[in-house]
Structure 1
Amino acid sequence: MLRRRMWIMLGVVLLVVLLLAGYKAFSVYQQIQQFSAPKPPISVPVVTASEREWQSRLPAIGTLKALQGVDLSLEIAGTVKAVLFDSGQSVRVGQPLLQLDSDVEKALLGTAQADLGLARVEHGRGSRLVGDQAISKGEFDKLAAQLEKANATVAQLNASLAKKRILAPFSGIIGIRQVDVGDYLASGTVIATLQDLSSLYLDFNVPEQALPSLAVGQKALVSVAAYPGQRFEATLSAINPKVDEATRNVLVRATLPNPESKLLPGMFGDLQVLLPGPKTQIVLPESAITYTLYGNSVYVVAPEKVTSEKSDKAEPEQNAKGQPRLVVERRFVETGERRDGLVIISKGIKAGEQVVSGGQLKLDSGAHVAISADTTLAPEPHSQPRAN
């Protein structure tokens, strides 16, 4: 009886062990099937490398300057008697701007002019008397010297009176006034700034290696932070005939019209000089490039090819839907100039090849992919501006 129970217990234990072993074997089989099943393709956006007319540009930065600009200041000290302009007013050349108190100088000028009149009368009388030998030649010379001295005194006082008044040296827009009527101003005090904004200069430096590609008359596109997205056209007007020995740079000046006075002196200008000779280049969006320390690369999409048993030639492999299976190939490229989100590919890519433009981190060479739409390489309105 006892032996029979033992056999029953052993049979039950054996049955449980077999059931557990079978379940475990079935689980391992499912995992093997799961890992051995083909992975679904990775969905990635793709663009086609295309050829475009690309005009090379030379980037530079500079500061805007007025065609004529000056800080109006006094040559002599004095008290302000009249301010003859309003802040921000447009003034003409020669227009009076400020008048200092000149009562003392005017009184002295009246005295000097009286002395000049007397000297002229005495000189005229002396010229007749010396002819009649009524006075000596030496006495007549003294009368002539007194006349010249009186003339010089009047001229000196007229010059002093002129310095009591400030006139506009050129036409332009005057800035905010810094003085009021009644202020006593020392010599050299600035009363306001005057700027001719009809045109502006933009001075910038370029490396000496770029000098052969520059010439007076070339066009340049200028942008400023105050008007994002807007570009102003300038013309190279002068190239400095000397290279800076410290920086090995050349100073270049561009001139740009400013009819609406939107641009102001002192603004930071970002410009791009349009170099001659547009060329056809292969371009890709910058998002398609993987930048690394050991080189730049892209993932090129192409049909997967396998060698058939009937033929030694590699033929495209098809998926269950009868479409070619696509794989990616990592390819190192040489990049060039970048602009407006695009970059020139000088080596490594041919026109018409499809390149992954996003999600490169989840890819590796040989991975299967599925193409999704991407409009990154669509033409942009400001990608190729032309000079007039």
Structure 2
Amino acid sequence: MRRYSFLIVALIVFAAMTGIVAFRVLAGSGQETGQRPASALPVAAYTVARFEFADIVEALGTARSKESITVSARVSDTISRINFESGQLVEAGDILIQLNDAEQVAGLSEARTTLREMQRDLERVNDLISRGVAPQQRQDEARAALERAQARVASIEAQLADQVVRAPFAGVVGLREISLGQLIRPGDPITTLDDISAIRLDFTVPERFLANIRAGMMIEATTNAYPDHVFLGTIAQIDSRVDPISRAVTVRAEIDNTDGRILPGQLMVVEVRRDQRSSPAVPGSAITRYLDDSFVYVLETQDGVTSAHRRNVELGLRTGDVVEVTAGLEPGEVVIAEGVHRVREGVPVTVTAQRDFGQGGSPDSPAAVTQP
């Protein structure tokens, strides 16, 4: 009996001591908490700004001259004169080469002499007829002979013109393919001639984009030769047929090329912009995704304390590190740009850095973005 009584007393004493220790710990913790509140989380902030966005249809295109031909002669003869050098600018009508025309010049001289004789003969016949000496039939014969002589002169003049090869339009000649004294035949290449004052850029787009493309739309094109330069142009024509195999349609754009930097045959990356707009945007690092929701943490200051509050947003397109916000944010609001993984609803924060991409543009890439 005494043994049980001792055990009961020991348990009571142990429970009392445990309660006293717990009370002191809790009291000490409460006092320490009251004296040293939790510190605010350091974050980087970003002030929401507007950026220019656009849906883009991207394609590969091939540059072509406004006009382009392979220059050749129409007759066979030897080359007596060359009036151009490779890469030279020429005007419409400029003589490129002259073929040997000695035979044609002699024939023309003879034909013109005959023509003058026929004209004098007709004048004599007319005089005789006016005096009633010659019959009317003689006048008809003289007139027919004169017309034959005129036709002969015109024929040789045409042959003589074929001995001269002229530029049919203004442009740049290519590499010279002939030499002085060379015998040239019809169809033999002399050089190429390209009018590169404007470039026709042909590219194909899938047929599903037909509803979004029309003549007059602006395009931007780039080439590896000038990676830092964007060439602007407009859509001139859209082919009347869709390729039944590739299900794509050919689109032709025109680009001003007065500086001559684009050469025919160059490969270019084409971007067709549509639905251009100015929208609020935030850095991609500011966005948190959970299931089907996307949200950011907006900073709000009250009674001198800055805290983070979750805000659901709807997102649009993306360029570089900037994401379009179509709903949920307004320009001027401040969001957490970095450190969102440590933030919870209502937690106090302190801004240690400010990210700023500027207004109305993109930090590291073109403002418009490719449609996903």
Residues 216-231 of structure 1 aligned to structure 2 (within 5 Å): 216=216, 218-231=217-230
1:208 paired with 2:191, answer: no
Question: Alignment partner of 1:56: what SS?
Answer: strand
Question: Alignment partner of 1:106: what SS?
Answer: helix
Range with greater deviation from structure 2 (141-150 or 123-132): 123-132
Summarize the Cα distance change of 1:99–1:171 in structure 2 as closer, same or farther, 3 Å threshold. same
Shift of 1:141: 1.6
Shift of 1:282: 3.8
Shift of 1:198: 2.7
Residues 209-251 of structure 1, C-alpha deviation per residue, up to 9 Å, x if partnerless?
213xx452x43322111011221222x2523373536335362
Shift of 1:280: 0.8
> For the Cα contact (< 8 Å) 2:63–2:201, is it kept in 1?
yes
Summarize the Cα distance change of 1:53–1:349 in structure 2 as closer, same or farther, 3 Å threshold. closer
1:160 paired with 2:159, answer: yes
Summarize the Cα distance change of 1:343–1:153 in structure 2 as closer, same or farther, 3 Å threshold. farther
Shift of 1:135: 3.0
Summarize the Cα distance change of 1:138–1:219 in structure 2 as closer, same or farther, 3 Å threshold. same
1:339 paired with 2:322, answer: no
Which residue is equivalent to 1:169? Answer: 168
Residues 93-172 of structure 1 aligned to structure 2 (within 5 Å): 93-172=92-171
Residues 180-228 of structure 1, C-alpha deviation per residue, up to 9 Å, x if partnerless?
01111110122112223333232334431213xx452x43322111011
Which residue is equivalent to 1:255? Answer: 255
> For the Cα contact (< 8 Å) 1:79–1:184, is it kept in 2?
yes
Which residue is equivalent to 1:54? Answer: 52
**1:173 and 1:253 mapped to 2: Cα distance?**
21
Residue type of the alignment partner of 2:50 = R
Q: Structure 1: 5+ residue runs without aligned partners? A: 1-44, 304-322, 364-370
TM-score normalized by the length of structure 1: 0.63
Residues 362-381 of structure 1 aligned to structure 2 (within 5 Å): 379-380=362-363
Instruction: Specify which structure has the higher proportion of strand.
Output: 2
Residue type of the alignment partner of 1:175 = G
Higher RCO, 1 or 2 (CA under 8 Å, sep at least 6)? 2
Summarize the Cα distance change of 1:177–1:144 in structure 2 as closer, same or farther, 3 Å threshold. same
Residues 162-201 of structure 1 aligned to structure 2 (within 5 Å): 162-201=161-200
**2:227 and 2:288 mapped to 1: Cα distance?**
29
C-alpha RMSD of matched pairs (Å): 4.4
> Percent same amino acid at aligned positions?
24
Which residue is equivalent to 1:91? Answer: 90
> For the Cα contact (< 8 Å) 1:289–1:297, is it kept in 2?
no
Which residue is equivalent to 1:40? Answer: none
> For the Cα contact (< 8 Å) 1:288–1:298, is it kept in 2?
no
TM-score normalized by the length of structure 2: 0.65
Summarize the Cα distance change of 1:288–1:352 in structure 2 as closer, same or farther, 3 Å threshold. closer
Residues 35-74 of structure 1, C-alpha deviation per residue, up to 9 Å, x if partnerless?
xxxxxxxxxx988695532331433432222233322211
**2:93 and 2:136 mapped to 1: Cα distance?**
46
**2:154 and 2:169 mapped to 1: Cα distance?**
25
Shift of 1:270: 1.7
> For the Cα contact (< 8 Å) 2:283–2:323, is it kept in 1?
yes
**2:75 and 2:352 mapped to 1: Cα distance?**
77
**1:296 and 1:204 mapped to 2: Cα distance?**
37
**2:315 and 2:99 mapped to 1: Cα distance?**
66
> For the Cα contact (< 8 Å) 1:60–1:204, is it kept in 2?
no
Residue type of the alignment partner of 2:57 = P
> For the Cα contact (< 8 Å) 2:79–2:181, is it kept in 1?
yes
